[in-house]
A and B are shown apart, each in its own frame.
Chain A
Amino acid sequence: MADNPKDIAIKPGDFEPLDQQAGPDNERIAAPSLTFGQDVWRRLKSNKTAFTSFIILVLMFLVAFGGQAVYHHDPNAQQPKYANLPPKIKGVDLYGFNGHLKQSGKDVDAYAAAGAGKDVHYVLGTDYLGRDLLARIMYGTRISLEIALIATLIDLTIGVGFGIISGWKGGRVDLFMQRVIEILSSIPQLVVMVLMATAFTKTGMASIIAAIAITGWTTMARLTRAQTLQLKNQDFILAARTLGESAPKIAWKHLLPNLSSVIIIQTMFTIPSAIFFEAFLSYIGIGISSPQASLGTLISDGQKNFQFLPYQMWYPAIVLIVLMLAFNLLGDGMRDAFDPKSKR
């Protein structure tokens, strides 16, 4: 064989035409077709922290909304003679769960002192009016979640709609709408809350939801606007326009699906902040009013007896902490799941 490449003679006859018939079949894709949602779910499942948070949240939702079907105790039933009883679980003899208290250095059976019969058990104890604390925590969690979910939903609707219109229209409309956002976000949330309390004549769920919704949607609107500005000059939007698609349909078919990750992630961070704001308002006394309970009012009530009966504050506080952590960690995980490029 010739070592010099110049000596290799290549004749036309050495070549054979490729089999043209193989055309389209060559392009078959063997991998299973995954929708965007399936892909996100797969990535979310592989993130252990986020997935654990997800399961914890599902459990908390189940207990908060379905717990009362199993645990038949009226959260508002007062029994003054059983006031301030510590937790007692049947058959457990462990300090903190056996109904005993330390009073002036002595161990006292609080249930016996209150004259409660042998079959009286309060799993998480009672508060200063003798109300079952576990029932109140379940009830309070439900109220907190309801407020957060409704407020976030309103947030989402106004914010996304406002953001898309502002970004899509551009120009003067955008300029005006952005000034509206700036003015709104310059008002402190607390001021809005006090205004709402006056407007609704009584503080309660409606006024809190209104306060959170009015002040909260601006972040969502800003995010969707920024994303819409980026998307609206993408070729696939131009293609839809050249095909004659109407603006509302473009928003529905092209913008929303591509905004969904931003919206969902933002929602995951809005919910805990709404829960937190509600707890804060209830804690300082302009939120949910008794006999209704929320995590904030429970913590506020428990704090009054914190030195002597710490469990009255600890248990609702733990629920709030777990709820906040789970939402935030799940939000983080979802951000990574929706945007695979952001991680690794």
Chain B
Amino acid sequence: MPDARKKILEVHHLKQYFNVGKRDEVRAVDDVSFDIYEGETFGLVGESGSGKTTAGRAIIHLYEPTSGEIIFNGQDVSKLHTKKQMHAFRRQIQMIFQDPYASLNPRMKVKDIVAEGIDIHGLAKDDADRTKQVEDLLETVGLNKDHSSRYPHEFSGGQRQRIGIARALAVEPKFIIADEPISALDVSIQAQVVNLLKELQVKQNLTYLFIAHDLSMVKYISDRIGVMHYGKILEIGPADEVYNHPLHAYTKSLISAVPVPDPEFERNRIQVPYDESREKDDKKRRMVEIAPGHFIRASEDEVAMYTQRAVDAGLING
């Protein structure tokens, strides 16, 4: 049972609004709750503008959340007031960014980019130790240690993304938010980076929040998947269950759009349209556990329907 494991991150009713009270108020993340267990990979999927990235940034405290609780390792993040507490929090949770071309300062050497966290947190004893740590990190992500004296513009996208990963790893974090780390890379390099992430997870016992819009990639890397739409999470469940037996109509629609490298299948593909008006009928909805570990955002009168779907899919016994 997943519940027996330790929760590393709990997000309760997180809301992140922009321009609050103005006419152009944006509810980027609206009442989102989920838990992430230690050592797992939680995939967050959804279309562009669904609030995935904003959720990730709110968790790492790049934004000040409008309301809601973020509990990391049993500690409420919004209650970290002293500089020292914040500093310690920053060390435990790191981020990998989407665009490898924008995430590295073009005027800094790779060595200084990777060592930034080491310098901030004072993790190196002396200069030689700093150099050694950087070289080890570069080796960990499969780069040559000679690369440390180079500038970012000399690297390819995949190499840059690995430099970004090395920078995140430098402070020995427990939890990494990977914000679409592969969407800017071409397919062959995507596999390289995802496999590196998987390998590192095993070696260093990392927990990932993996944000992406590519469902098949998310299924490959994730243990559990959360599906976001319009700032809300609609379905959370084990990766295989969500992918193979989606219960929510939106998830079904999303999965029906995943391309498959099979012309025969593609020719006969039926895309399931999603009627989003249902979401806006002002009914009170909350996350309901339909099958063990499988949550759906539903109103009271929809629970029976979802339960029936779960029974039909063989997830639970009627």
Residues in chain A within 8 A of chain B (CB atoms): 23-25, 27-29, 31, 33-36, 234-236, 238-245, 253-254, 257-258, 260
Task: Name the 10 nearest CB pairs between A and B, nearest first.
Answer: A244-B90, A235-B103, A257-B107, A235-B97, A235-B102, A236-B105, A243-B117, A24-B144, A242-B95, A234-B102
- Chain A residues near B102 (CB, 8 Å)? 234-236
Check A257 against B108 for contact (C-beta < 8 Å).
Answer: yes
Interface residues on B, range: 35 or more
Contact with A along B96-120 (1 / 0, CB 8 A): 0111001111111000000011001
On chain B, the residues within 8 Å of A241 by CB distance are 62
Q: Which of B60, B98, B108, B147 contacts A29 (CB 8 A)?
A: B147
Q: In the complex the two chains form, is A25's CB within 8 Å of B144's CB?
A: yes
Q: How far is the CA of A23 from the CA of B150 in the complex (A)?
A: 19
CA distance A23 to B142 in the complex (A): 7
Of A31, A238, A260, the most chain B CB neighbours within 10 A belong to A238
- Chain B residues in 8 Å Cβ range of A235: 97-99, 102-103
Contacts of A238 in B (CB 8 A): 57, 62, 95, 97, 103
Residues of B within 8 A of A253 (CB): 105, 108, 116
Bound-complex Cα distance A25 to B144 (A): 7
A25 to B121, CA, bound (A): 31
Kindly list chain B residues whose C-beta atoms are within 8 Å of the C-beta of A258: 105-107
Most buried by B among A35, A234, A236, A240: A236
Q: Is B171 an interface residue (CB 8 A)?
A: yes
Q: Which residue of A lies closest to B170 (CB)?
A: A243
- B86 at interface, CB cutoff 8 A: yes
Docked-complex contact B159 and A257, CB < 8 angstroms = no
Summed over the interface, the residue pairs from A and B with CB atoms below 8 Å come to a total of 87
The A contact surface, by secondary structure, is helix
What is the CA–CA distance of A25 and B159 in the complex, to the nearest angstrom?
Answer: 13
Could you say which of A234, A244, A260 contacts B121, with CB atoms under 8 Å apart? A244
Which B residues are CB-close (under 8 A) to A25? 144
C-alpha spacing A253/B62, complex, angstroms: 19
Q: Are A36 and B107 in contact, CB atoms less than 8 angstroms apart?
A: yes
Q: Which residues of A contact B149 (CB under 8 A)?
A: 33
Which A residue sits closest to B113, measured CB to CB?
A: A236
Q: Within 8 Å of chain A (Cβ to Cβ): is B91?
A: yes
Which chain B residue has the least Cβ–Cβ distance from A23? B142
Q: Report B-chain residues with C-beta under 8 Å of the C-beta of A27.
A: 142-144, 147, 159
Contact (Cβ within 8 A) A242 B103: no
Closest CB of chain A to B9's CB: distance in Å?
Answer: 15
**A24→B60 CA distance, assembly (Å):** 32
CB-defined contacts of B62 to chain A, threshold 8 Å = 238, 241-242
How far is A155 from B99 in the complex, measured between Cα atoms in Å? 36
List residues of chain B with CB under 8 Å of any chain A CB.
57, 60, 62, 86-87, 90-91, 93-95, 97-99, 102-108, 116-117, 120-121, 139, 142-144, 146-147, 149-151, 154-155, 159, 164, 167, 171
Nearest residue (CB) in B for A245 is B120
Q: A241-B62, A242-B94, A243-B120 are in contact. Are A236 and B143 (CB under 8 A)?
A: no
Residues from chain B with a CB closer than 8 A to the CB of A236 are 102-105
Residue contacts A-B, CB under 8 angstroms, 30 given:
A23-B142, A24-B139, A27-B159, A29-B155, A33-B154, A36-B107, A36-B151, A235-B102, A235-B103, A236-B105, A238-B62, A238-B95, A238-B103, A239-B95, A239-B97, A239-B103, A239-B164, A239-B167, A242-B62, A242-B95, A243-B121, A244-B90, A244-B121, A245-B116, A253-B116, A254-B105, A254-B108, A258-B105, A258-B107, A260-B107
In addition to A24-B142, A28-B144, A240-B116, 14 A-B residue pairs with Cβ atoms within 8 Å of each other are A24-B143, A27-B147, A33-B151, A35-B151, A235-B98, A235-B103, A236-B102, A236-B103, A238-B57, A239-B167, A243-B116, A244-B86, A244-B120, A258-B107
A335 and B226 CA atoms in complex are apart in Å by 48
* Whole-angstrom CA separation of A51 from B21 in the bound complex: 56
Question: In whole angstroms, how far apart are the Cα atoms of A202 and B120 in the complex?
Answer: 51
Residue of B nearest to A259 (CB): B107
Measured CB to CB, the closest approach of chain A to B61, in angstroms, equals 8
- The answer to whether A242 and B60 touch across the interface, beta carbons within 8 angstroms, is yes
Q: What is the bound-complex CA distance between A244 and B146, given in angstroms?
A: 27
Contacts of A257 in B (CB 8 A): 105, 107-108
Q: CA A245 – CA B159 in complex, angstroms?
A: 24
State in angstroms the CA–CA spacing of A108 and B106 once bound together: 67
In the bound complex, residues from chain B placing their C-beta under 8 Å from that of A234 are: 102-103
Which among A244, A253, A257 has the greatest number of chain B C-beta atoms within 10 A?
A: A244
In whole Å, how far is B23's beta carbon from the nearest beta carbon of chain A?
18
Complex: how many Å from CA A64 to CA B138? 52
Alpha-carbon gap, A234 to B149, bound state (A): 23
Tell me which residues across on chain A come within 8 A of B99, comparing CB atoms. 235
- How far is it, in angstroms, between the C-alpha of A23 and the C-alpha of B162 when the chains are bound? 14
Question: Nearest chain B CB to A340's CB is how many angstroms away?
Answer: 11
Q: Which residue of A lies closest to B116 (CB)?
A: A243
* Distance from B155 Cβ to chain A, minimum over Cβ atoms (Å): 8
* B176: min CB distance to chain A, Å: 10
